A = this chain, B = another copy of it.
Amino acid sequence: MDAIERLLLKLGARDTVSEAEKEALSATVERVRTYEPGEIVVPEGVVQTNSQLLVSGVAARAKLLPDGQRQITEIHIDGDFVDLHSFGLKKLEHDVIALSPLSMAMVPHVRLMTVTENWPHLTRLLWLSTLIDAAIHREWIVSAGRRTAIEQVAHLCCEMMIRYRIVGLGQGDRCPLPLTQNQLADCCGLTVVHVNRVVQDLRAQGLVEWRQGTLAILDFERLAALAQFDPSYLVLDHIPR
């Protein structure tokens, strides 16, 4: 049950998970493997027979355009069932890449199939976790479409802080954020140069510190106001589902 500990925090924040369900979920994990930063965890367009669960580390969904541009569409952290999507899609239309050293739990699709046959409530919770991914995607569309550069970066900081808190890794005003400015630019659809200026601006305004892969939000309220951040898309209420 070690490998799924943070996933249980995630699911448990949204609904009650029974002991039997915890064991059933834990039993789906075949083995754990590791990746180095920069490695491709799930390659685009290749049929998958496992779904990978992020046990610890930071990964990203990255889409490459024919002309060489890159866009990251979601950041994944400890406890995210990153590649649950391939259970339904069979192959992904994007890469999942490691941004930090990762440990990943391999979950064979045949075992997930068994879960859907025997554990309807657990199935709904796994389904829910992909629905939350979709909600995060929608918020990123809003960011890319309607927020200025500084608002986008501020918004991402708020999102990551809340998500880390849910899985018990956001201590006080600090959480991990092991991205390069280049990767942050790919998240926000900006250039490195401009991200650099924006980050300096946020620092100068006394809103965030961000060094050595750690983010500190010095004034969450002001940062959230700047970003027009509303956490409701992160589905923070505990309800039977």
- By a beta-carbon cutoff of 8 Å, the part of chain A in contact with chain B is 45, 61, 63, 65-67, 69-71, 73-74, 85, 88-90, 93-94, 116-117, 120, 123-124, 127-128, 130-135, 137-142, 144-146, 188-189, 228, 230, 232-233, 235, 237, 239, 241
Whether the pair A128, B189 counts as a contact (CB closer than 8 A) is no
Residue of B nearest to A187 (CB): B145
- Chain B residues within 8 Å of A133, by CB: 134
Q: Give the number of times this chain occurs in the complex, counting copies.
A: 2
Given contacts A93-B233, A116-B120, A146-B71, contact A137 B141 (CB under 8 A): yes
> Least Cβ distance of A82 to chain B in Å?
13
> Least Cβ distance of A154 to chain B in Å?
14
- Chain B residues within 8 Å of A65, by CB: 142, 146, 228
- Chain B residues within 8 Å of A89, by CB: 128, 131-132, 135, 235
- Chain B residues within 8 Å of A61, by CB: 138
Give A127 to B112 CA distance when docked, in angstroms: 13
> Least Cβ distance of A141 to chain B in Å?
5
- Chain B residues within 8 Å of A146, by CB: 65, 69-71, 189
- Chain B residues within 8 Å of A70, by CB: 146
Query: Could you show 14 A-B contacts with beta carbons less than 8 Å apart?
Result: A61-B138, A65-B142, A69-B146, A71-B145, A73-B142, A85-B135, A89-B128, A93-B138, A94-B138, A117-B120, A134-B134, A137-B137, A137-B138, A145-B188
Give A116 to B120 CA distance when docked, in angstroms: 6
